[in-house]
Amino acid sequence: MVKTQELSRRKLLGIAGLGWMFDAMDVGILAFIIAALQKDWNLTTAQMGWIGSVNSIGMAVGALVFGLMADKIGRKHVFIITLLLFSVGSGISAFVTSLTLFLILRFFIGAGLGGELPVASTLVSESVPANERGKVVVLLESFWAAGWLLAALISYFVIPSYGWQAALLLSALPAFYALYLRLKLPDSPRFQAVSVSKQKESSWMKISKVWRKPYTKQTTMLWILWFCIVFSYYGMFLWLPSVMVMKGFSLIKSFQYVLIMTLAQLPGYFTAAYFIERAGRKFVLVTFLIGTAVSAYFFGNADSLPLLLTSGIFLSFFNLGAWGGLYAYTPEHYPTEIRGTGAGLAASFGRIGGILGPLLVGYLVAADVSINAIFLIFAIAIFIGAMAVLFLGEETKQRELV
């Protein structure tokens, strides 16, 4: 019986992780495509910023809409819908020839991405025992690093020779395999146990519950935390290849160096997974966020290749470890009937930061603001997120879900 449950958990982690990996491939490839599109379509820095921001607008809408749907029709069905939306949109975007059409498709791709991520972490959280929940969700998040690594490899080897269109097709096609695997996935046992009357509550009722006592303080903390992490992540990482070009490296060299930095994401996740059940969620989040803030400051001020690579490696290590803690921590603050809504709302608010971050970089660069000043803004934002967890957050390690 124990072996069967273990195999079931591994299967769930593998299937959910595959979708997570393909999501990361798309976001990662987008960072490299933005740099390539600047040359192909002669984009301004403001237009480059809008590509990342429209993606985040879609993610904000997707997290809200699909988070609410997950509490009504179940985690599994939303899991399938969001992956299908992302896969089809990504494949079609390989054939567009104008920025306007590309932006429209990025909105729908972003909606699929934004809806899937909080729903996936909710499904996994509700399907594993309390003493393993944090570790398993962080391991789920580690598939993001694998996706970014694949994105960096595809971008380095494919985009220079075959173009960005080929890279987009490569990111979309494997997702259909994950979709096939997901059709046989069981839904969350906790959602299935929720009464029909609870499932049929109006969306407004569920939203209002998230902001009522005893969840007010924790919702406030999560919204601040999500905003700070998403604002800084998308502001920094979607611009990494372009920032490397601005610092004087060729497009090929910038892809190569970002690939090296990306390798640090996996040990970041595994370290967070190790500590999250031992030292707790708050320890992991505060420690890794402060590490991210320090790394962001040094990356922005780096004036030599060794310092640039070293600070970039630590930036990837700490930032992605913090993401793992974030996805483990968020669903643990709400009961099952509003867990999808609570996680979706926090993620949706965070995506506003994802809209502002890339836009901010584009407009500040256009205004001749230095890269070190821009990265200082991100470092401060991350530090604010760490303080929100430290002073407002509750420890949820091994808390039984209700």
Give pLDDT, residue 302. 85
Provide the whole-model pTM: 0.84
Letter for the amino acid at 44? T
Instruction: Please report where in the chains the tokens 């993606």 appear, as a residue.
Output: 55
pLDDT surpasses 90 at 107: yes
Q: 51 falls in which pLDDT band (50, 70, 90)?
A: confident
pLDDT surpasses 90 at 230: yes
Structure tokens at 196: 């029909």
Q: Which of 18-27, 171-180, 206-215 has the highest mean pLDDT?
A: 206-215
The residues, any chain, with a CB within 8 Å of residue 322's CB and separated by 6 or more, are 229, 272, 284, 285, 288, 289, 292
Letter for the amino acid at 389? V
Q: Choose among 80, 64, 168, 185: nearest CA to 118.
A: 64
Instruction: Please report where in the chains the tokens 């500590």 appear, as a residue.
Output: 275
Per-residue pLDDT reduced to its tens digit, 324-377: 999 999 999 999 989 999 999 999 999 899 888 888 888 898 898 988 999 999
Letter for the amino acid at 246? M
Q: Choose among 43, 31, 44, 21: nearest CA to 255.
A: 31
Radius of gyration, CA atoms only, the chain:
20
Q: 195 falls in which pLDDT band (50, 70, 90)?
A: low
pLDDT surpasses 80 at 60: yes
The DSSP string of 119-182 is HHHHHHHTTS-HHHHHHHHHHHHHHHHHHHHHHHHHHHHTHHHH-HHHHHHHHHTTHHHHHHHH
Structure tokens at 170: 């490569």
**pLDDT mean across residues, the chain:** 87
Give pLDDT, residue 400. 85
Structure tokens at 185: 């996935």
Q: What is d(CA 188, CA 357) in angstroms, rounded to the nearest whole number?
A: 34
**Do residues 22 and 174 lie in contact, with contact meaning Cβ atoms separated by under 8 Å?**
yes
Q: What is d(CA 283, CA 379) in angstroms, rounded to the nearest whole number?
A: 19
Q: What is d(CA 155, CA 306) in angstroms, rounded to the nearest whole number?
A: 23
C-beta neighbour count of 101 within 10 angstroms: 13
Specify the 3-state DSSP secondary structure of 16: helix
Cis peptide before 186 (omega within 30 of 0): no
pLDDT surpasses 70 at 182: yes
Give pLDDT, residue 346. 95
Give pLDDT, residue 323. 93
Q: What is the DSSP letter of 279?
A: T
Give pLDDT, residue 3. 47
Fold of 7-183+202-392: Growth Hormone; Chain: A; (1.20.1250)
Give pLDDT, residue 84. 84
pLDDT surpasses 50 at 287: yes
Give pLDDT, residue 251. 66
Share of the chain above pLDDT 70, in %: 96
**Do residues 231 and 351 lie in contact, with contact meaning Cβ atoms separated by under 8 Å?**
no
Give pLDDT, residue 1. 44
Q: What is d(CA 289, CA 319) in angstroms, rounded to the nearest whole number?
A: 7
Structure tokens at 325: 């803690």
Structure tokens at 158: 């494919």
Q: Choose among 164, 312, 344, 325: nearest CA to 236.
A: 312
Query: C-alpha distances in angstroms, 56 versus 188, 291, 359?
Result: 27, 25, 11
Q: 252 falls in which pLDDT band (50, 70, 90)?
A: low
Which backbone phi and psi does 268 adopt, to 5 degrees? Answer: -65, -45
Which backbone phi and psi does 78 adopt, to 5 degrees? Answer: -70, -35
The number of angstroms, rounded, from the C-alpha of 182 to the middle of its chain's C-alpha atoms is 20
**Do residues 277 and 135 lie in contact, with contact meaning Cβ atoms separated by under 8 Å?**
yes
